[in-house]
Amino acid sequence: MAGFNTATPIIDYDAFIFDLDGTLLDTADDLGAALNNVLAAHNQPTVSADVYRPAASNGAIALLEAGFGQHWHTHPKQATLRQQLLTAYADNIAIHSQCFTGIAQLLIALEQQQIKWGIMTNKPEFLTTPLVAAISELSDAQAIVCGDTLNVAKPSPLPLLHTAQLLDVDPSRCLYIGDAQRDIIAAKAANMHSATALWGYIPSEEEALSWQADFNWQSPIDAFNHI
């Protein structure tokens, strides 16, 4: 694990909990491909990565808004377009998606130090399950909670509290890592420490720092100071 700081930790935790899109996985190109599939089918110009990447953590509606622009809000078939996007994505869910650089090493280090880790994402289960199954580095997740596991999703703290319960760890001994403001809000409400994944689909570093997470990490390597 050359290049990683495995010195005496500053802070230790019993569990790390991760958001999925934009934190563990770079899924933007598969999401963007699904969006462009829908745009092309409706004779709309396709969009480049600089358009779809910022929306990649925020779900189907955010992607469609990014793709259709001002036309989205008056489009008569919004529900149909959303379903077409989800179908196109589900059919090609892990063509380009992969762990961000450093994630695999971080997960190995957590397991070596017997620190539990799990996933809490707002992505629905029918998409989360096949995506996680396709990424070998995520096969040892000890808990996976999706956006529809409960009847609420982030920024509610309840899915995070449920994840901690599945991991059998007190919430105050958990660290939640995510790339969206709702992640930090949920962590604070769940009495968990939080870290912003600045390598993810953040709107800007300045805005991300304003969320006031406990930590702001430029890369997964930074986590090695806290395990």
Domain extent listing, the chain: 15-26+98-225, 28-91
Whole-angstrom Cα distance, residue 196 to residue 176?
9
3 has pLDDT over 70: no
Q: Could you check whether the bond before residue 155 is cis, i.e. omega within 30 degrees of 0?
A: yes
* pLDDT of amino acid 72: 85
Render pLDDT for 80-92 as a digit per residue (tens, 0 to 9): 999 999 999 999 9
Render pLDDT for 187-210 as a digit per residue (tens, 0 to 9): 999 999 999 999 999 999 999 999
5 has pLDDT over 50: no
Band of pLDDT at residue 11, cut at 50, 70 and 90: low
Whole-angstrom Cα distance, residue 148 to residue 154?
10
Q: Which CATH number fits domain 15-26+98-225: 1.10.10.10, 3.40.50.720, 3.40.50.1000, 3.40.50.970?
A: 3.40.50.1000
Catalytic residue ranges: 19
Q: 3-state class of 196 per DSSP?
A: strand
Q: What is the mean pLDDT of residues 58-65?
A: 92
Band of pLDDT at residue 185, cut at 50, 70 and 90: very high
Q: What is the mean pLDDT of residues 50-63?
A: 92
Render pLDDT for 14-29 as a digit per residue (tens, 0 to 9): 999 999 999 999 999 9
8 has pLDDT over 50: no
Q: Which two tokens stand for residue 36?
A: 């462009």
